């Protein structure tokens, strides 16, 4: 490497390590490093939205990659849902480049009208990053979900009628991509507050995109955010909430044991076409076990990033229980049909 390049590299490295002399930033970084150490083996990537949270994550991840000589990728998703989204994505890319962070913009191509904009953006953001990670053989995706997100998601799911699994699952620092277990999503900032991340972002890159949707009360998340803020003022602490979440996780873990057992004991896979056959005992388990087991099989066969909607799964289970032979049904990329006492779930040919 030329002396000029070596000098520039040394200068940028000094910038990062100098920022770590700040006690508050160093404390956040040491917490971050402890959280991800066992999850990063080779290369990893960071999902960057341009918000203060993700800019803080970008700084922390860059520090970690320099210190541990790890290959790192940064992906910015242009969701095309706001007029200025493309300009914002390019601006984030430009700002990151100043700090020796090379990033790639991934663009959501769909332009159709969407009823649930935030859900659409989230699902397609994950799809783009997951597909890019598969192409580059990246094993770990880091996201900037933090302590405040954990509280907000709990109440959002509670208001939407989520069961035990939905209420407890987001609290896990690591989760596997269901259709390809080679990739993990890791959330190393779940015990870091929004205020800490804002401070870090301001005192490092001093740049972030302010998303106007964060103030739009037409979105449920914004309403819940205000509710959580009020509850915190009335005495709700993260420590108290974490105890409740830990108890829910213990109960969820016990149920997951029986879900896995039901799938193992009462289903079989046909290697030729990847279809799954459920025997008569599969649908005879307790309702929650059947619901989770069936959702798991549907997602696996259909190779989807997310589980099917609960109401659709429940309706299909009730339909399959109602008679010996039923018409073919489709759900999440699967064809489902019952013959006598068995149910066959096959991938839909596209």
In this chain, the answer to whether the domains covering 3-236 and 244-347 adopt an identical fold is no
State the average pLDDT over residues 147-176. 82
pLDDT value for 115: 57
Could you name the CATH architecture of 3-236?
3-Layer(aba) Sandwich (3.40)
Instruction: Say how many C-beta atoms besides its own lie within 10 A of residue 10's C-beta.
Output: 10
Per-residue confidence band for 5, with pLDDT thresholds at 50, 70 and 90? low
Q: Which residues neighbour 117 within 8 Å (Cβ) at sequence distance 6 or greater? A: 81, 213
Q: What is the pLDDT of residues 171-205, one digit of tens each?
A: 778 887 655 567 889 999 998 999 999 999 999 99
User: Residues of the chain with pLDDT > 70: what percent?
Assistant: 92
What is the residue extent of each domain of the chain? 3-236, 244-347
In CATH terms, 244-347 corresponds, of 1.20.59.20, 1.10.10.10, 2.40.30.170, 3.40.640.10, to 1.20.59.20
State the average pLDDT over residues 4-15. 72
pTM for the model: 0.79
pLDDT value for 67: 92
Per-residue confidence band for 310, with pLDDT thresholds at 50, 70 and 90? confident
Instruction: Say how many C-beta atoms besides its own lie within 10 A of residue 92's C-beta.
Output: 26
pLDDT value for 3: 53
Q: What is the pLDDT of residues 203-238, one digit of tens each?
A: 999 999 987 777 777 788 888 888 888 887 888 787
Q: Which long-range contacts (CB under 8 A, 24 or more apart) does 133-139 make?
A: 133/45, 133/183, 134/180, 134/182, 134/183, 136/43, 136/45, 136/73, 137/43, 138/43, 138/44, 138/45, 138/73, 138/183, 139/41, 139/42, 139/43, 139/44, 139/182, 139/183, 139/184
101 to 21, 46, 78, 153, 337: CA distances (angstroms): 21, 11, 18, 30, 51
Q: What is the pLDDT of residues 103-153, one digit of tens each?
A: 999 998 765 555 566 666 777 788 889 989 989 999 899 999 998 888 888
Pairing mode, strands 72-78 and 103-107: parallel
Rg of the Cα atoms in the chain: 23
Separation CA 11–CA 87 (nearest Å)? 29
pLDDT value for 324: 67
The answer on pLDDT for 19 being more than 70 is yes
Q: What is the pLDDT of residues 326-337, one digit of tens each?
A: 788 999 999 999
Separation CA 82–CA 284 (nearest Å)? 48
Judged by average pLDDT, the poorest of 5-19, 148-162, 167-181 is 167-181
Q: Which residues neighbour 154 within 8 Å (Cβ) at sequence distance 6 or greater? A: 167, 170, 241, 245
Per-residue confidence band for 305, with pLDDT thresholds at 50, 70 and 90? low
Judged by average pLDDT, the poorest of 25-34, 99-108, 112-121, 250-259 is 112-121
- Beta strands (DSSP E) in 117-207 are 140-142, 174-176, 184-186
Is the pLDDT higher at 302 or at 122? 302
The answer on pLDDT for 2 being more than 90 is no
User: Tokens 């803080």 sit at which residue?
Assistant: 56
State the average pLDDT over residues 290-302. 93
The answer on pLDDT for 22 being more than 70 is yes
Per-residue confidence band for 32, with pLDDT thresholds at 50, 70 and 90? very high
* Mean pLDDT for the chain overall: 87
Stated length of the chain: 350
Separation CA 80–CA 84 (nearest Å)? 8
Judged by average pLDDT, the poorest of 49-58, 210-219, 248-257 is 210-219
């Amino acid at each position: 490497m030329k002396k000029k390049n070596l000098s520039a590299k040394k200068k940028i490295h000094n910038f990062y390590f100098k920022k770590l002399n700040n006690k508050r930033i160093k404390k956040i970084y040491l917490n971050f490093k402890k959280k991800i150490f066992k999850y990063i083996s080779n290369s990893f990537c960071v999902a960057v939205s341009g918000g203060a949270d993700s800019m803080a994550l970008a700084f922390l991840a860059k520090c970690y990659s320099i210190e541990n000589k790890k290959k790192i990728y940064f992906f910015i998703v242009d969701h095309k849902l706001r007029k200025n989204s493309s300009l914002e994505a390019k601006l984030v890319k430009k700002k990151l480049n100043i700090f020796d962070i090379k990033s790639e913009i991934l663009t959501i191509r769909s332009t159709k009208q969407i009823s649930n904009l935030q859900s659409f953006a989230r699902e397609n953001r994950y799809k783009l990053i997951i597909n890019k990670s598969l192409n580059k053989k990246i094993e770990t995706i880091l996201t900037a979900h933090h302590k405040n997100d954990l509280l907000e998601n709990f109440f959002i799911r509670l208001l939407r009628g989520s069961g035990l699994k939905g209420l407890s699952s987001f609290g896990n620092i690591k989760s596997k991509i269901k259709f390809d277990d080679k990739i993990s999503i890791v959330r190393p900032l779940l015990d870091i507050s929004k205020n800490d991340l804002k401070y870090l972002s301001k005192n490092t890159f001093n740049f972030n995109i302010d998303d106007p949707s964060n103030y739009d009360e037409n979105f449920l998340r914004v309403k819940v955010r205000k509710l959580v803020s009020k509850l915190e003022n009335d005495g709700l602490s993260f420590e108290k909430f974490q105890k409740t979440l830990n108890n829910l996780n213990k109960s969820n873990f016990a149920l997951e044991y029986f879900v896995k057992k039901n799938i193992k004991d009462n289903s079989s896979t046909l290697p030729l076409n990847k279809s799954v056959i459920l025997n008569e005992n599969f649908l005879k388990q307790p309702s929650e076990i059947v619901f989770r087991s069936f959702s798991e099989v549907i997602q696996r066969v259909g190779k989807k990033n997310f589980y099917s909607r609960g109401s659709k799964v429940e309706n299909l289970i009730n339909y399959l229980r109602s008679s010996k032979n039923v018409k073919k049904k489709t759900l999440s990329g699967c064809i489902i049909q019952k013959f006598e006492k068995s149910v066959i779930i096959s991938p839909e040919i596209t």
